[in-house]
Structure 1
Amino acid sequence: MLNILFYIYVIFFVLFFFGFCIFIHELGHFLAAKWRKLHIVAFSIGFKKIWAYKRNGIEYRIGCLPFGGYVDLPQLDVTGPAYDENKKELPKVKPVDRIIVAFAGPFFNVLFGFFLATFLWIYGIPSASPVMDSFTVASISENGPEYKAGLRQGDKIVEINSEKFHASWEKVIQEMLFTIGKIHLGVERDGKLISITYLPEVNQDNAGMAKEGLPYPFFKPEIPVIINIKKGSPAASYGLETGDRIIKIGSTSIADPETFFKEINKTGDFTATIARKGKIITLKDLTSSNIENYKTYIIGVMLEPDANELRVAEVRADSPAQKAGIIPGDIIVKVNSTLVFKDTRIPEILTKEGGKQATFTIVRNGKTLELNITPELYTPREIQGLSIAYYNHLTPWEQFLNVIEMSYQSLRGIFSKHSSISAKHMSGPLGIVTVIGKAVYNGSILYALNIITIITFSLALLNLLPLPVLDGGHIVMSFIEIIIRRPIPQMIVNPLYTLFVVLLIALMLFVTFNDVNRLTNFTSLFKKSQTSQTETKK
Structure 2
Amino acid sequence: MSEFLNYVYVAVGVVLSFGAAVFVHEYGHYWMARRRGLKVEAFAIGFGPKAYGWVRDGIEYSVRWIPAGGFVKLPQMITSEALEGTQNPEDETLPPVSPWSKMLVAFAGPFMNVVFAFVIATVIYFVGLPRLVNPSIIGYVEPDSEEAKLGIREGDRIVEVNGKPADSWHEVQMATVLALTKVVPVVIERDGARTTYQLSAKESPTFGWKILNLDPRDHPEIMRVLPKLPGEAAGLKVKDAILSFGGVPVASREKLIELIRSRPNQATEIVVQRGTEKLSLTVTPAVDPTTKKGFLGVELGFNSKNVYAVQKPGPTPLDQVMDVWDKTVATLSALVHTKQTGVGMKDLSGPIGIFQILAGYFNTDYRLALSFLVLLNINLAIINLLPVPVLDGGHILMAVIERIRRRPLSVKFMEYTTTAFAVLLISFLLYISFHDIKRFSLIKSWQGGSVVEEPGAKTQPAPAPAPTKP
- Shorter-chain TM-score above 0.5: yes
Amino acid at match of 1:215: K
1:439 CA drift (Å):
2.4
Q: 1:96 Cα shift?
A: 0.6
Distance 1:122 1:154 in 2: 37
**Structure 1: distance between partners of 2:166 and 2:426:** 40
The reply to whether residue 420 of structure 1 matches residue 339 of structure 2 is no
Contact 2:389 2:418 in 1 (8 A): yes
> Residue in 1 aligned with 2:329?
408
The Cα of 1:158 is off from its aligned counterpart by 6.3
Shift of 1:10: 1.5
TM-score by length of 2: 0.67
Query: Hey, what does 1:391 align to over in structure 2?
Result: 310
- Alpha-carbon distance between aligned partners in 2 of 1:10 and 1:127, rounded to the nearest angstrom: 21
2:210 matched residue in structure 1: 215
The aligned runs of 1:60-71 (5 Å cut-off) are 60-63=61-64, 69-71=70-72
Superposed CA RMSD = 4.4
Alignment of 1:425-436 (within 5 A): 425-436=347-358
Select the residue among 444, 449, 454 that pairs with 2:375: 454
| Identity %, equivalent residues | 32
Q: Name the structure, 1 or 2, with higher relative contact order (CA <8 Å, separation 6+).
A: 2
Tell me, yes or no, if structure 1 residue 76 matches structure 2 residue 77. Answer: yes
* Pair 1:180–1:188, CA change in 2 (3 A): same
1:515 is aligned to 2:436? yes
2:341 match: secondary structure: coil
Counterpart in the other structure of 1:532: none
Instruction: Identify the match of residue 407 of structure 2 among 467, 480, 486.
Output: 486
Q: Distance in 1 between matches of 2:5 and 2:57?
A: 41
Indicate conservation of the 8 Å contact 2:76/2:89, yes or no. no
Q: Which amino acid aligns with 1:395?
A: T
Deviation readout 1:91-133 (Å, 9 max, x if unpaired): 2211110111101111111111111112222333322218x9x
Q: AA paired with 1:10?
A: V
Q: 1:95 aligns with which of 94, 99, 111?
A: 99
CA gap of 1:427–1:148, structure 2 versus 1, over 3 A, is farther
1:475 aligns with 2:391: no
The 3 A distance-change label for structure 1 pair 23 and 485 is same
Extract unaligned runs of 5+ from structure 1. Answer: 203-208, 222-255, 259-296, 308-313, 333-341, 346-387, 522-538
CA contact (8 A) 2:55 2:61 kept: yes
The count of corresponding residues between Structure 1 and Structure 2 is 380
Q: Take 2:10 and 2:436, find their aligned partners in 1: how far apart are those partners?
A: 19
Judge conservation of contact 1:41–1:85 (CA < 8 Å) in 2. Answer: no
User: What is the CA–CA distance in structure 1 between the aligned matches of 2:33 and 2:9, rounded to whole Å?
Assistant: 35
> How far does the alpha carbon of each residue in 1:28-61 deviate from its partner, in whole angstroms, 9 at most, with x for none?
1111111111100122345533554433332333
Task: Give distance in 1, aligned partners of 2:353 and 2:296.
Answer: 29
CA contact (8 A) 1:428 1:515 kept: yes
User: What is the CA–CA distance in structure 1 between the aligned matches of 2:173 and 2:188, rounded to whole Å?
Assistant: 16
- Residues 254-278 of structure 1: CA deviation (Å, up to 9, x unaligned): xx998xxxxxxxxxxxxxxxxxxxx
Is the CA contact (8 Å cut-off) linking 1:19 and 1:69 kept in structure 2? no
Find the counterpart in structure 1 of residue 43 from structure 2. 43
Q: Which residue of 2 aligns with 1:109?
A: 113
Structure-2 separation of matches of 1:9 and 1:60:
27
Match of 1:20 in 2: 20
Task: Return the offset for 1:403.
Answer: 2.2
Q: 2:418 aligns with which of 465, 485, 497?
A: 497
Q: Match of 2:29? A: 29
Q: Which one is further off, 83-92 or 103-112?
A: 83-92
The SS at the match of 1:75 is coil
Summarize the alignment of residues 49-60 of structure 1 with structure 2, pairs less than 5 Å apart: 49-60=50-61
Alignment of 1:91-170 (within 5 A): 91-129=95-133, 140-142=141-143, 145-148=146-149, 151=152, 160-161=161-162, 163=163, 165=165, 170=170
State how far apart, in whole Å, the 1-side matches of 2:117 and 2:90 are: 38
Instruction: After TM superposition, list the pairs within 5 Å mapping 1:243-258 onto structure 2.
Output: none
- For 1:21, the aligned partner's letter is A
